[in-house]
Amino acid sequence: MASLRRLSTSTAKIVEEYVKSIGQPATFFMPGLFMSYGIQSIRKTDQGNYVWNIPFDADTTKIPLFNAPDDTGLFVSAILLHGSSMLGKHVPAASGLYSPSEMVKTFVEVTGEKALTNRITFKQFHDALPPPVADELTGNFQLVESPGYFVGQPADAVAKSIELIATAGLRKPTSWKEYLEKNLKQ
């Protein structure tokens, strides 16, 4: 069921090992979970409220959220501005680590709508997704739960990436609240 994400992760590792083996200088950019997915996942029910069906604990699980259209250049710019000191390093791209409960609370603040999380199994999660993306998204969410979305990275990796941006003199990455305000109030 989640073999695609594991394949994607192992393929990225193979590419990284190859790049290192040929002596090619590189920095490894690692995007977090796209914020657009968060908006698409919180769905209106027949009763008029919103629900996010998730396959893990809403309070303890942390999701690294990333606004790909607006923040990719921000992280890449920070890498480039720091120059050769970044060679061989990994840069997880996310504006922070958010629990699903925090995400839904912010959704409620921004929209004024009622919303909640609902815990489901990974099988139920997989079966509710469109077949072309079911394996990959299920695999992504299994990594979020354990061992963590950015496999092999330290717990403070996202904070260090945000610090990298700050020390480059760049703006902060888009927060979940900012993303919702921009994309739900249009």
Sequential DSSP letters for 112-127? ---EEEEE--HHHHHH
Tell me the C-alpha distance between 150 and 121, whole Å.
22
pTM of the model: 0.87
Tell me what the mean pLDDT of segment 103-125 comes to: 96
How many domains does the chain fold into? 1
Its domain, for residue 146, covers: 3-184
What torsion, rounded to 10 degrees, do the Cα atoms 78, 84, 89, 90 define? 30
* Top-confidence residue, 20 or 5: 20
Cβ atoms of residues 142 and 2 within 8 Å: yes
Is 185 within 8 Å of 111 (Cβ atoms)? Answer: no
For residues 65 and 94, is the Cβ–Cβ distance under 8 A? yes
Per-residue model confidence as pLDDT tens digits over 57-109: 999 999 999 999 999 999 999 999 999 999 999 999 999 999 999 999 999 99
Q: pLDDT over 90 for what percent of the chain?
A: 70
Evaluate if residue 149 carries a pLDDT over 50: yes
Is the model's pLDDT at 9 over the cut of 70? no
CATH number at residue 73: 3.40.50.720
Mean pLDDT of the chain: 90
